[in-house]
Structure 1
Amino acid sequence: MRKVKKKEKVYFPDPKFHEPLVTRFVNHLMKNGKKNIAYNIFYNAMDKIDIIKEKEEKSALEIWKEGLKNVMPHVEVRNRRIGGSNIQIPVPISSNNKITKAMKLLIASASTRNEKTMAHKLAYETWDAFHEQGEAVKRKENIHKMAEANKAFSHFRF
Structure 2
Amino acid sequence: MGRITASKKQLKGDPKFNSLLASKFINCLMWDGKKSVAQGVFYDALEEIGRRGDIADKTPIEVFEQALDNVKPYIEVRSKRVGGASYQVPMQVNKSRQQSLAIRWILEAIRDKKGRPTHIKLADEVLAAYKKEGVAYTKRENTHRMADANKAFAHFAW
Structure 2 length-normalised TM: 0.91
- Describe how 1:119-158 pairs up with structure 2 within 5 A: 119-158=119-158
CA gap 1:75/1:54 in 2 versus in 1, 3 angstroms = closer
- Describe how 1:1-158 pairs up with structure 2 within 5 A: 9-10=8-9, 11-54=11-54, 56-114=56-114, 116-158=116-158
- The question of whether the paired residues in 2 share the 8 Å contact of 1:80 and 1:89 is answered with yes
Q: Supply the AA of the counterpart residue of 2:49.
A: I
Give 5+ residue unaligned stretches, structure 2.
none
- Secondary structure at 1:142's aligned position in 2? helix
Q: Which runs of at least 4 in structure 1 moved beyond 3 Å after TM superposition?
A: 5-8
Which one is further off, 109-118 or 60-69?
109-118
CA gap 1:78/1:116 in 2 versus in 1, 3 angstroms = same
CA gap 1:87/1:70 in 2 versus in 1, 3 angstroms = same
CA gap 1:37/1:6 in 2 versus in 1, 3 angstroms = closer
Listed one character per residue, the Cα deviations across residues 21-71 of structure 1 (whole Å, up to 9, x for unaligned) are: 111011111111111111111001001001112462101001111110110
RMSD: 1.7
CA gap 1:26/1:95 in 2 versus in 1, 3 angstroms = same
Q: Supply the AA of the counterpart residue of 1:34.
A: K
- Structure 2: distance between partners of 1:55 and 1:136: 19
- The question of whether the paired residues in 2 share the 8 Å contact of 1:77 and 1:143 is answered with yes
Which one is further off, 77-86 or 139-148?
77-86
Which one is further off, 88-97 or 53-62?
53-62
- The question of whether the paired residues in 2 share the 8 Å contact of 1:111 and 1:122 is answered with no
CA gap 1:22/1:81 in 2 versus in 1, 3 angstroms = same
Paired residues in the alignment total 154
- Structure 1: distance between partners of 2:136 and 2:55: 24
- Secondary structure at 2:91's aligned position in 1? strand
Structure 1 length-normalised TM: 0.91
- Secondary structure at 1:132's aligned position in 2? coil
Identity of aligned residues (%): 34
Q: Supply the AA of the counterpart residue of 1:48.
A: E
